[in-house]
Amino acid sequence: MSTRGSRIFPVLLSGGTGARLWPASRESHPKQLLPLTEDLTLLQSAAARVSDPARFEPLIVVANAEHRFTIAEQLRIIGAKDPLIALEPCGRNTAAPTAVAALLARDLDPAALILVMPADHVVRDTAKFLASVDQAAAIAARGALVLFGVDPTSPIPDYGYIRPGAALETDAGAYRVEHFVEKPSPAVAEAMVKGGGHLWNSGLLLAPAQLVIDELERHEPAVLLAAKRSLAEARRDLDFVRLDEAAFQAGPSISLDHALTERTDRLAVIKAEFDWTDVGAWSALWALGEKTSAGNVLIGEAFAEATTNSYVRSEGPLVATLGVRDLIVVATPDAVLVADRGSEQDVGRIVELLRAAGREPATQARQVRRPWGWYESVVSGAGFQVKRITVAPGCKLSLQSHAHRAEHWVVVSGVAVATIGDEEVVVRANESVFIPQGARHRLANPGDQPLSVIEVQSGDYLGEDDIVRFEDDYARN
């Protein structure tokens, strides 16, 4: 229960793809699932901020269905208690998932407050964040939709801005919203920051769930109707609530700002005292990072000589820069981005062009996540492919067969149990086992440490769709 007597249900919106943080962020494994600023991922950090049971009820997450197992595992790792994870069958911006979360919270408690948070923001001072939540909760409990405004530290054109108006007579430190400015030009952003009187719109909202529902009914009823119908026709899928695809897709794709906060007359804004960053582009990570004396942020296998004010990150090969400035350089095992730090807001355009050209790295990371762990292709050629496979403790792949390929499994670390036909074989480190073409087989990790396996495939077709599943712990077809 909240210390103020109102039940606050924290809501994480995790449906974005993070295209402007390509190539680290991909549609298959976007930025909120990455550890970009600390050991925890952005999603884990956001969840940890609202984990105090004295203030918050269990977490509600509205997420892309493709990321469900990764999200559930990341929340399990940090000890999140009984999260309710609702799965979006398609993207519909932020109004639709907020409506879903409000309906879910209202059904749990008619007087519920919801704290709506994008899963990809960085907040460095949790104590100040919680103090602002307490302030906002007291205002929201009296019937307001409360936004968190943040003092701007620089003129960032990609942010939204709020101009606070008159103070609310009933609530000290709360103001009406005079107007919004969304993604201003660089000149306008600079003038607003120099002139004062404007706040960054953090995108954080604390409000009564019922008031969110009522105001959506008033201003954007099609969003609410689609949310209601998608929940009415939802089905349980293991530990997830899978929203009905047809009903959810029938609703409009619109942001919460356009659908609600810029139109309602029940809005208030507080000046949040915590530091906040929307990790929307590589420049934000440069601003957050620990800099060298030359103003460079170096992550991983990165080396800079005669380089200034640049962000250089490598998740694979050694990257060296020489005689450059104001660059973004990001290398992953299968893609490299080099961009001027002033133009990296357009990285999403590169992703669109790569997608149109049919280039797999546009959306798919080399490391492919599965509910049991992950795999990556190491090398491939005519008639063969070598993969590295990691199976999480206690997990197993589906019982399956392949019509066109045989496989060798070589255990690198851990202990595997290999099912081949009717036989089970224990395979230890430095041992291998052969799976004939067409044989039913399964790989399992019975231990408490990750299982690492090298898989060598051979055959006339090695596509991922050459698979027939007979049993699967994760309800996949």
DSSP secondary structure letters along 135-198: HHHHHHTTT-EEEEEE--SS--TTSEEEEEEEEPTTSTTEEEEEEEEES--HHHHHHHHHH---
Q: Work out the average pLDDT over 40-55.
A: 97
- Asked if the model's pLDDT at residue 3 lies above 70, the reply is no
pLDDT at residue 171 in the model:
73
In angstroms, how far apart are the furthest CA atoms of the chain?
Answer: 76
CB contact at 8 A, 452 and 411: yes
pLDDT band at 477 (very low <50, low <70, confident <90, very high): low
SS3 31: helix
- Asked if the model's pLDDT at residue 343 lies above 90, the reply is no
- Asked if the model's pLDDT at residue 178 lies above 90, the reply is yes
Task: Copy the structure tokens of residue 301.
Answer: 């296998």
Integer Cα distance of 106 and 116 in angstroms = 14
pLDDT at residue 237 in the model:
87
Q: What are phi and psi of 203, to 5 degrees?
A: 85, 0
Q: Work out the average pLDDT over 263-268.
A: 96
- Asked if the model's pLDDT at residue 255 lies above 60, the reply is yes
Strands (E), 256-352: 267-272, 276-278, 297-308, 311-325, 327-332, 335-340
The count of other CB atoms within 10 Å of the CB of residue 437 is: 14
Element (H, E) at 384: strand 384-391
Q: Work out the average pLDDT over 362-374.
A: 92
Average pLDDT over the chain reads: 94
More confident residue, 1 or 325: 325
Q: What are phi and psi of 209, to 5 degrees?
A: -55, -40
How many CA atoms lie within 13 Å of 368's alpha carbon, on the beta-carbon side?
11
Element (H, E) at 46: helix 42-49
Q: Work out the average pLDDT over 116-145.
A: 95
pLDDT band at 432 (very low <50, low <70, confident <90, very high): very high
Bridge partners of residue 161, in order along the sequence? 181, 200
pLDDT band at 83 (very low <50, low <70, confident <90, very high): very high
Measured between alpha carbons, how far is residue 322 from residues 302, 306, 310, 312, 316 in Å?
A: 12, 5, 11, 12, 19
Chain centroid to Cα 77, Å, comes to 16
Task: Copy the structure tokens of residue 305.
Answer: 């000589």
Q: Work out the average pLDDT over 219-245.
A: 96
SS3 54: coil
Closest by Cα among 287, 227, 189 to 102? 227
Q: Work out the average pLDDT over 46-61.
A: 97
pLDDT band at 2 (very low <50, low <70, confident <90, very high): very low
Integer Cα distance of 204 and 220 in angstroms = 20
pLDDT at residue 75 in the model:
97
- Asked if the model's pLDDT at residue 356 lies above 90, the reply is yes
Provide the percentage of residues in the chain whose pLDDT is more than 90: 90
